[in-house]
Amino acid sequence: MGFSSLIKILPTRVYRVYKGGFLLDLFRGEREPKDTNYPEDWICSTVRALQPYGISEESISRIEAVEGKGNIEELINLYPREILGDNHIGTYGCKLNLLVKLLDSAIRLPLQCHPEKSFSRKYLNSNFGKAEAWFIVGTRKISEDPYILLGFKEKVDKKKLFSIIEKDDSETLVSLMNKIKVNPYDTYFIAPGIPHAIGEGVFMVETQEPTDFTISIERRCGDVVSSDQKCTINLGWDLALDAFDYTSYSEEEVKENFVMKKEPISLSSTGKIYNLNGGSYMKSCFEILFLEGIKDMPLSFKSFASVVVLNGKGYIVRGREEYPVKRGETYLIPFNFGEHRYIGDDPLDILISLPPAM
């Protein structure tokens, strides 16, 4: 059978030009939580981050050592079939076709969008775009109530958008957007092309396609001002702005189109399982399960799975093996782990991110 153990993912903090991480530190159980330039924790990643200083391997998920291997890529290279499965390897090779992060921003991030698969294939030499799903874990009030910006609320076209970008007019750009207050356990699917920004004081699990492609229409992020080349990922403004969805949405339409539907799979006295459904495009990229108030629940997967323990403490049990788990911990379940149970001494809330069904 080979390797089939639960893989504990250690904090894998990644440099970003913006500051954050206080709530992430609290979640991880750090004694002195603080905001730094390491506001992201890449917990299911074989993606190399695009950094101001080049392409970085700091974003390869660190693991509790297995046979001397200290990150998930090294372990996959040792046990590819056991962790990924033959079908996955045949289609995607020995890389995770999924990226999961913990992200906590202390500032409003720049307005941006991400490409869809067809755009990436044509212009970015990749089979993946960067569709994202946001599960809000926690919030804090910094200068105002926590919020996100999502979708243009008034009519704007490519020419008008570029004229505002040229002027570095952030105030006008923000005025074009829907501003939506958010609370813990809110969920959104960020479809490719939809303009968006995470507001200050928002801590989330971000499940996405495995790339770092971001087209930013604001040059400034915190104290850093980026070049047009970096903002457009070397595409130039004319081509980069073709990636945007210029549809105007009311706030109600944003919620109807982009809030993930919470579909019950199993509801019982020992816990609830929901599928978070963001629509057909999301299903082509990844799937997400939300386990709520779990006291005793069996599960099995046909792929590897990323696990974030949102609340509670207990065990993941397989046969006679018991793995203690608690809030703030992250795991990767390998392909051949098989049927197992989630046992909550203190009822567990868990978010599970899965690759698309094959």
What does the domain layout of the chain look like in residue ranges? 7-258, 261-354
Whether 306 contacts 332, CB under 8 Å: yes
Give the CATH fold of the 261-354 domain: Jelly Rolls (2.60.120)
- Residue 159 phi/psi, 5° resolution? -65, -45
| 60-119 per-position pLDDT tens digit | 999 999 999 999 999 999 999 999 999 999 999 999 999 999 999 999 999 999 999 999
Tokens of 129: 């775009």
Give the pLDDT confidence score for residue 213 in this predicted structure. 93
Whether 243 contacts 193, CB under 8 Å: yes
Whether 134 contacts 204, CB under 8 Å: yes
- Residue 337 phi/psi, 5° resolution? -65, -35
Instruction: Quickly list DSSP for 189-227.
Output: EE-TT--EEEPTTEEEEEEE-S----EES-SEETTEE--
- For domain 7-258, give the CATH number: 2.60.120.10
| Residue 171 neighbours by CB distance under 10 Å | 7
SS3 256: helix
The HSE-up count of residue 32 (CA atoms within 13 Å, CB side) is 1
Whether residue 272 has pLDDT greater than 90: yes
Give the pLDDT confidence score for residue 51 in this predicted structure. 83
| 33-65 per-position pLDDT tens digit | 999 999 999 999 999 988 888 888 999 999 999
| 178-202 per-position pLDDT tens digit | 999 999 999 999 999 999 999 999 9
Which residue bears the tokens 């190399």?
48
> Does the predicted model carry a pTM greater than 0.75?
yes
- Using 50, 70 and 90 to split pLDDT, how confident is the model at 1? low
Q: Per DSSP, what are the bridge partners of residue 288?
A: 276, 353
In whole angstroms, what is the distance from residue 93 CA to residue 91 CA? 6
- Using 50, 70 and 90 to split pLDDT, how confident is the model at 212? confident
- Let me know if the fold of 7-258 is the same as that of 261-354: yes
